[in-house]
Structure 1
Amino acid sequence: MSKDFYQAIEDRRSYYAVSKEQVVSDERIVEVVEHAVKHVPSAFNSQSTRVIVLLGAQHDKFWNLTTETLRKVVPEENFAATQEKMDLFGNAYGTVLFFEDEEVVKGLQEQFALYADNFPVWSEQTSGMHQFAVWTGLEIEGFGATLQHYNPLVDDEVKKEWNVPSTWKLRAQMPFGKPAAPVGEKEFSSLKERVKVYK
């Protein structure tokens, strides 16, 4: 599949209805993720983003774990809607977990004390850029995805299950799969209110 950069950005949407049907090889999925991790910029070239790609049974394990974690905090009478969401995400082909390595951030704060307060902010910015790059890359390959945030509820279980270093902070989860239903039209605010140009 081939799309130019602008078309890929336009087509990238939140797809909740996705399936486990294979779209490209697992190797290609890893290539897309690795390309983003290698080439997306970061402040001071910190390269603080860390990623785990969960496929097959490991993907299923993550959403089962998340479901059981949520069951402990969501009242039983309200759990049906939560279960519905978990089923949607569980039906996906895989999940990308995005982390930031706090050890890297702390090291930069110590090395460049003048900017110490900025490094956590810049870390969040680079995480967001990685999420966008991976999401758009998966879109180009024919996947639909969403961005979820069940951290910090699942952090401890994730660290135990996948031997995640203690310094990695979970920032987002991205389930992805073959689109199984069209998405609705997206509404846009006026660009005149959002973009100012001065010459």
Structure 2
Amino acid sequence: MEQIFKDFKAGKIDTFYRKMYPQLLIYAGRHLGKDYAFLAEDCVQDAIYQTYLHKDSLASTFAFKSFLYSCIYNATISLLRRQAAKENYLSAYTKDEEDENFLNSLIEQETLDILWNAIGQLPKKFQELFELSFEQGMKNAEIANLLNISESAVKKRKAQFITLLRQHFSQKTNDEIRLILIVSLKLLNL
């Protein structure tokens, strides 16, 4: 063991991997249990890396082994805690909530497609206004400065923009309009 420790400190890890690695995997696997034993190698590799980073501060074989096994133990405990938290989080969602979330995301995407299609059919100056105001969140004064127009002109363009969208959506069915309103309100945080 003393030679493995000296080689490890010198950066020669071949002997370490041949002689100690299998034992370390068994140790990690025992702590992880059969459900997570497949992650033992990740824990061991992380522990070896941490030990290698601290190799200069390890004064003895005992300190080396203690540090290495402590790192493996801590890695397995951390991994098990993360898995438990993940399982608790996932179990909080029921099948109905998953279905509802999926349906809501589908409706939202369809509505966004309709909205982007409508905006894409508007003249470029209104598309630019939409991007600056709603996507980038710029204030009217900032937009006026950027476009080299007055602030009142920005306000008028916004009013025209809304009028054009209303005209476009007045040709749509009630279901499409409801979808668009729901998503628009979400987008505008209303």
Normalising by structure 2, we get a TM-score of 0.29
Question: Which has the bigger relative contact order, CA under 8 A and spacing at least 6?
Answer: 1
Question: Over alpha carbons, which structure has the higher Rg?
Answer: 2
TM-score normalised by the chain length of structure 1: 0.28
Larger helix share, 1 or 2: 2
